[in-house]
Amino acid sequence: MTGFDLIVIGSGPTGSAVARTVADTGPRARVLMVEAGPRLAGTLGGSVRNLVGDERTAAEAASEIPGEHPEASGPFARPGARSGTSYISNGRSYGNPFSGMPAAVMSANVGGLGVHWTGACPRPGGSERIGFLPAGQMNDLFEEAERLLHVTQDAYPMTQLRSTVERELGNVFDEGRPRDRRVQPMPLAAEPTPSGRPRWVGTDTILGTLAHRHPRFELRDCTLAERLIISGDRVIGVRLRDLRTGDVTKVTADAVAVAGDPFRTPQLLWASGIRPDALGRHLNDQPQIMCGIHLDPALLDGEFAASTAEHEREMLSGVSWIPFHEPGYPFHGQIMQREASPMGFGDTADGDARPVVGLGCFTTKEIRAEDRVTFSETETDAFGMPRPVIHYELTARDHAAVDRAVEIVLGLVSRMGEPVPGGAPTLQPAGSSIHYQGSYRMSAADDGTGVVDPEGRVWGFENLFLAGNGVIPTATACNPTLTSVAIAVGSGRAIAKQLET
Ligand SMILES: Cc1cc2nc3c(=O)[nH]c(=O)nc-3n(C[C@H](O)[C@H](O)[C@H](O)COP(=O)(O)OP(=O)(O)OC[C@H]3O[C@@H](n4cnc5c(N)ncnc54)[C@H](O)[C@@H]3O)c2cc1C
């Protein structure tokens, strides 16, 4: 067996944040990162959204997981999964788009979903925040996560179109809100460029110098962590399978961080015989309402409408944010430039020059222990790991929240213009948010309600850490990656400290 100080399993944003934090603060730690999927074109962990043409198509195809695209079946036919992702096949057909999370996806590639994402990085507010973590400590972690992700509100230029959208939304929502929770440009993990279209941040940016040749960091792609090797309350190593050759090796480590997403992190623990009752439970995603709006030209000045064809930059509406704010708006609103939106929302008629924006409204999900992922004792997934089975239902409270959100969205649409054909506000199938959380959640105490402690360490283990959206214990409506990267930074610091001693 060869040995490392730290093995990180999964190369998405949270695994990358753990590796980078340990490398920056740790005592010359040697870090191995393993990733089940392949390295894609471009820089290590670079966003595929910065690639163009065939290179982008090839990178997105390489991220998909063979054998994880079951044909749509039953009365509810699923559309194709979003580029670069694959549906979790879940071993069943779907009769209801809101039962069992039929739209849940995953990726397997260096950078994980973090090379396909939209980069929205709002801070959570009110009850979205984790009450048992001190606010000062959490704000410090948010700042570091924002630094690693290059978060900015200036990724898009301030155009007339964008200021019109934000003015109209502000007129509806801003009254009575503190300044930091008013309508504003979405904080994005993206960098401005002279064209006005941003360069998107992938895990290359999070990894920093680790994304280039680094003497103390190794990344093995197409390498599956298939078992954690346990001795008492310690993980002493990981059994790895090279998916290109089939070779199996064992690698020892002083600490292990699993950052494999809210389905595959519990899968690896379960396969390794670590099965606390909370593992896989409290699974939640954010019910998501989408619509497309033709903006009313009367909101914009005439000169602007005449000059749009010549001024592509002026047509950028960017991404705007209606922050979660209780009690009036316990939702998260995201108004997006059409091309920046990862979801379709209706069609525009040929020759219709009116600007179009997409509006996504996310609600919180009532958290219940019975919403969970379990694993089959007999069936395996495309990687030969125990097949996940998702049990998931919307409650009466969830439907009421959705109804209220749809009402608010309809009001916005009529104030700002009209829906594009086929773009009326619609609740998307469960799992569409790609913001799955809670399946190995954090708890303040080892009382059976959580899987990890506030530093991300598995309760009862000395040196096993989990990272990713699965640690988030609260019902959130905002995009979760900033929060899970912040928590991963905290785990990285705890690991570095532990390695020192
Ligand atoms: C189109 C799209 C848009 C999105 N937009 C946003 C957004 O605007 N804001 C936001 O906050 N979030 C967004 N997300 C979600 C965001 O990408 C995820 O929250 C984030 O990537 C989670 O990071 P992660 O590191 O926890 O996991 P992932 O990015 O899922 O990475 C996990 C990696 O671990 C690997 N892995 C799993 N198990 C094993 C194993 N046993 N052995 C080896 N490797 C393993 C997987 O192959 C995968 O590559 C979006 C996602 C998509 C697809």
Q: Which amino acid is at 214?
A: H
Across 24-38, 52-66, 74-88, 448-462, the highest mean pLDDT is recorded for 448-462
Indicate which residue's Cα is closest to atom 41 of ligand 1: 225
Indicate which residue's Cα is closest to atom 1 of ligand 1: 117
pLDDT above 50: residue 410: yes
Ligand 1 atom closest to residue 334's alpha carbon, by position in its atom list: 8
pLDDT above 90: residue 111: yes
Distance separating alpha carbons of residues 339 and 356, to the nearest angstrom:
10
Output the pLDDT for position 41: 87
Indicate which residue's Cα is closest to atom 51 of ligand 1: 117
pLDDT above 50: residue 83: yes
C-alpha 285 chain-centroid distance: 10
Predicted confidence band of residue 19 (pLDDT cuts 50, 70, 90): very high
Ligand 1 atom closest to residue 223's alpha carbon, by position in its atom list: 43
CA distances from 396 to 125, 140, 402 (A): 24, 37, 10
Probe residue for ligand 1, chosen from 434, 437, 484, 491 as the CB with the greatest number of ligand atoms within 8 Å: 434
Ligand 1 atom closest to residue 106's alpha carbon, by position in its atom list: 30
Predicted confidence band of residue 356 (pLDDT cuts 50, 70, 90): confident
Distance in Å, CA 117 to ligand 1 centroid: 8
Output the pLDDT for position 72: 42
Predicted confidence band of residue 422 (pLDDT cuts 50, 70, 90): confident
CA distances from 259 to 163, 234, 392 (A): 38, 18, 22
Output the pLDDT for position 90: 59
pLDDT above 60: residue 470: yes
Predicted confidence band of residue 97 (pLDDT cuts 50, 70, 90): confident
Indicate which residue's Cα is closest to atom 25 of ligand 1: 12
> What does the CA dihedral 401, 406, 408, 411 come to, rounded to 10 degrees?
-160
Instruction: Report residue 6 as tokens.
Output: 């730290």
Span 128-152, pLDDT tens digits:
999 999 999 999 999 999 999 999 9
Q: Which of 229, 255, 227, 230 is nearest to 241 (CA)?
A: 227
> What does the CA dihedral 192, 197, 198, 199 come to, rounded to 10 degrees?
-120
Ligand 1 atom closest to residue 112's alpha carbon, by position in its atom list: 49
Distance in Å, CA 307 to ligand 1 centroid: 40
Mean pLDDT, rounded, for 123-128 = 98
User: What's the burial of 328, exposed, middle or buried (CB within 10 Å: 0-12/13-18/19+)?
Assistant: exposed
Residues having CB closer than 6 A to ligand 1 are 9-15, 34-37, 82, 85, 107-109, 112-114, 116-120, 224-225, 259-261, 264, 268, 342, 434, 468-469, 479-481, 484
Predicted confidence band of residue 306 (pLDDT cuts 50, 70, 90): very low
How many Cβ atoms sit within 10 Å of the Cβ of residue 174?
17
Output the pLDDT for position 73: 42
CA distances from 268 to 10, 54, 224, 257, 401 (A): 11, 34, 10, 12, 34
Output the pLDDT for position 96: 83
Least confident of 111-120, 260-269, 274-283, 293-302: 293-302
pLDDT above 50: residue 94: yes
Distance in Å, CA 126 to ligand 1 centroid: 25
Indicate which residue's Cα is closest to atom 4 of ligand 1: 117
Which residue reads 């200036």 in tokens? 154
* Domains delineated in the chain: 1-52+59-69+79-150+202-284+436-500 (3.50.50.60), 156-200+287-363+393-429 (3.30.410)
Distance in Å, CA 9 to ligand 1 centroid: 12
Give 134's contacts (C-beta < 8 A, 6+ positions apart): none
Probe residue for ligand 1, chosen from 261, 341, 433 as the CB with the greatest number of ligand atoms within 8 Å: 261
Distance in Å, CA 387 to ligand 1 centroid: 19
- Helices 13-25 and 481-500: crossing angle in degrees, nearest 10, is 30
Output the pLDDT for position 84: 85
Ligand 1 atom closest to residue 105's alpha carbon, by position in its atom list: 53
* 3-class secondary structure per residue, 243-258: CCCCCEEEEEEEEEEE
Probe residue for ligand 1, chosen from 14, 83, 113, 258 as the CB with the greatest number of ligand atoms within 8 Å: 113
Span 222-235, pLDDT tens digits:
999 999 999 999 99
* Contact by Cβ (8 Å): 314, 159: yes
Distance separating alpha carbons of residues 156 and 170, to the nearest angstrom:
19
Span 247-291, pLDDT tens digits:
999 999 999 999 999 999 999 999 999 999 999 999 999 999 999
Distance in Å, CA 249 to ligand 1 centroid: 26
pLDDT above 90: residue 194: no
Mean pLDDT, rounded, for 441-450 = 98
Indicate which residue's Cα is closest to atom 50 of ligand 1: 117
The catalytic site residues sit at: 435
Least confident of 24-33, 299-308, 369-378: 299-308
Rounded to the nearest integer, the mean pLDDT of the chain is 91
How many Cβ atoms sit within 10 Å of the Cβ of residue 297?
14
* Contact by Cβ (8 Å): 125, 325: yes
Mean pLDDT, rounded, for 372-381 = 95
Q: Which long-range contacts (CB under 8 A, 24 or more apart) does 351-356 make?
A: 352/294, 353/305, 353/308, 353/309, 354/294, 354/295, 354/296, 354/297, 354/417, 355/161, 355/294, 355/295, 355/300, 355/308, 355/315, 355/317, 356/292, 356/293, 356/294, 356/295, 356/420
Ligand 1 atom closest to residue 467's alpha carbon, by position in its atom list: 26
Mean pLDDT, rounded, for 371-382 = 94
Mean pLDDT, rounded, for 341-364 = 76
Output the pLDDT for position 95: 74
Probe residue for ligand 1, chosen from 110, 481, 485 as the CB with the greatest number of ligand atoms within 8 Å: 481
Predicted confidence band of residue 309 (pLDDT cuts 50, 70, 90): very low
Distance in Å, CA 179 to ligand 1 centroid: 31
- Helices 160-173 and 396-416: crossing angle in degrees, nearest 10, is 130
Predicted confidence band of residue 339 (pLDDT cuts 50, 70, 90): low
Give 386's contacts (C-beta < 8 A, 6+ positions apart): 267, 270, 271, 375, 376, 377, 379, 380
Output the pLDDT for position 7: 98
Instruction: Report residue 226 as tokens.
Output: 């298939």
Mean pLDDT, rounded, for 28-56 = 94
% of the chain exceeding 70 in pLDDT = 90
pLDDT above 60: residue 302: no
Q: Which of 149, 10, 15 is nearest to 495 (CA)?
A: 15
How many Cβ atoms sit within 10 Å of the Cβ of residue 279?
24
Output the pLDDT for position 361: 97
pLDDT above 50: residue 407: yes
Indicate which residue's Cα is closest to atom 37 of ligand 1: 260
Distance in Å, CA 403 to ligand 1 centroid: 29
Distance separating alpha carbons of residues 179 and 142, to the nearest angstrom:
18
Distance in Å, CA 50 to ligand 1 centroid: 17
Indicate which residue's Cα is closest to atom 19 of ligand 1: 481
Probe residue for ligand 1, chosen from 32, 83, 110, 117 as the CB with the greatest number of ligand atoms within 8 Å: 117
Distance separating alpha carbons of residues 240 and 2, to the nearest angstrom:
12
CA distances from 141 to 148, 255, 413, 460 (A): 11, 21, 37, 25
